[in-house]
């Protein structure tokens, strides 16, 4: 089976490093900052959208996003593993999946360089494919990142439900849920991430797990 994992909020708790980087960049440009506890509501669609949500409403222009991003990216590149850590049980889950012969991939809206650095730092040699935000490729919930992963494994299941049953997508957000639906692959949500279980249920997510080892029932 191909198992595709979201990164932030699914494999790793990255919110502190994202929040500190965003606050640093906001302060450099002269905008108000936020408490780290406020950042889970701002993440999920890539760095640009995180910055956009953090800007004052009247200042949310593309130009201002780029101004903040110029400070955010260098800082985050340097500090993206300071407070980030795997969720409890995730390393053990990945080792178990690998030992069972499953193919593992990461599909993230975090920009590619940071995605690769963080995944290889915390999970060296564990993933067969690591994809993040790349120039010219639409972010999730566009399903292209899933198609690219599947193409790597020579599956090509873009429009085939039957073949799609051989793939599982695991994420913590409604963006992940929509991505899986758009890619026609089964989805399991984890409740330990940045989106509350109640919101996942309200959105119609059918399969939700509360602990990493619960995923084994879907493999």
The DSSP element (H or E) to which 17 belongs, if any, is helix 15-29
Please name the residues in contact with 167: beta carbons below 8 A apart, sequence gap of 6 or more.
Answer: 1, 2, 3, 4, 146, 150, 155, 157, 185, 186
Query: Among residues 33, 48, 79, which one ends one of the domains?
Result: 79
* 100 and 56 co-located in one domain: no
* 38 and 23 co-located in one domain: yes
Domain that holds residue 37: 15-79
What CATH number did the domain enclosing 190 receive?
3.40.50.1000
What CATH number did the domain enclosing 48 receive?
1.10.150.240
Distance, in Å, from the CA atom of 84 to the CA atom of 93, rounded to the nearest integer, reads: 18
Residues pairing with 3 in the sheet: 104, 168
Distance, in Å, from the CA atom of 143 to the CA atom of 92, rounded to the nearest integer, reads: 28
3-state secondary structure of 142: coil
pLDDT at 213 > cutoff 50: yes
Confidence of residue 155 (pLDDT cuts 50, 70, 90): low
Angle at 108 between CA 102 and CA 110, to 5 degrees: 150
pLDDT at 114 > cutoff 60: yes
pTM attached to this predicted model: 0.90
Distance, in Å, from the CA atom of 42 to the CA atom of 128, rounded to the nearest integer, reads: 29
3-state secondary structure of 156: coil
Higher pLDDT, 64 or 161: 64
Q: How many domains does the chain have?
A: 2
* 35 and 140 co-located in one domain: no
pLDDT at 121 > cutoff 50: yes
Q: What is the dihedral of CA 74, 80, 82, 85, to 10 degrees?
A: 180
Q: What is the dihedral of CA 114, 24, 74, 50, to 10 degrees?
A: 40
Between 97-106, 128-137, 145-154, 162-171, the lowest mean confidence (pLDDT) is in 162-171
* 144 and 156 co-located in one domain: yes
pLDDT at 29 > cutoff 90: yes
pLDDT at 158 > cutoff 90: no
Distance, in Å, from the CA atom of 177 to the CA atom of 161, rounded to the nearest integer, reads: 16
* 96 and 107 co-located in one domain: yes
> Pairing state of beta strands 167-171 and 187-190?
parallel
Query: Among residues 53, 79, 105, which one ends one of the domains?
Result: 79
Report residue 61 as tokens: 């222009």
Report residue 192 as tokens: 């330990």
The per-residue pLDDT for 45 is 82
Helix axes 144-152, 174-183, angle to 10 degrees: 60
* 128 and 151 co-located in one domain: yes
* 23 and 94 co-located in one domain: no
Report residue 146 as tokens: 């899933």
* 72 and 178 co-located in one domain: no
* 8 and 28 co-located in one domain: no
For range 70-81, the mean pLDDT: 96
For the beta carbon of residue 41, count every other beta carbon within 10 angstroms: 11
Distance, in Å, from the CA atom of 210 to the CA atom of 111, rounded to the nearest integer, reads: 28
* 183 and 108 co-located in one domain: yes
């Amino acid at each position: 089976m191909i198992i595709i994992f979201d990164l932030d909020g699914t494999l790793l708790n990255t919110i502190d490093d994202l929040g500190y980087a965003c606050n640093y960049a906001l302060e450099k440009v002269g905008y108000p900052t936020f408490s780290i506890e406020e950042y889970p509501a701002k993440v999920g669609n890539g760095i640009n959208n995180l910055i956009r949500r953090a800007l004052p409403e009247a200042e949310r222009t593309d130009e201002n996003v780029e101004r903040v991003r110029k400070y955010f990216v260098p800082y985050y590149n340097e500090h993206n593993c300071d407070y980030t850590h795997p969720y409890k049980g995730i390393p053990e889950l990945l080792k178990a999946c690998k030992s069972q012969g499953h193919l593992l991939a990461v599909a993230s809206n975090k920009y590619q360089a940071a995605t690769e650095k963080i995944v290889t730092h915390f999970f060296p040699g564990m993933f067969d494919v690591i994809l993040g935000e790349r120039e010219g490729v639409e972010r999730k919930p566009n399903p292209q990142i899933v198609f690219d992963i599947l193409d790597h494994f020579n599956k090509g299941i873009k429009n085939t439900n039957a073949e799609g049953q051989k793939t599982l997508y695991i994420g913590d957000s409604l963006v992940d849920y929509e991505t899986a639906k758009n890619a026609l692959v089964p989805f399991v949500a984890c409740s330990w991430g940045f989106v509350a279980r109640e919101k996942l249920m309200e959105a119609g997510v059918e399969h939700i797990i509360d602990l990493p080892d619960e995923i084994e029932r879907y493999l």
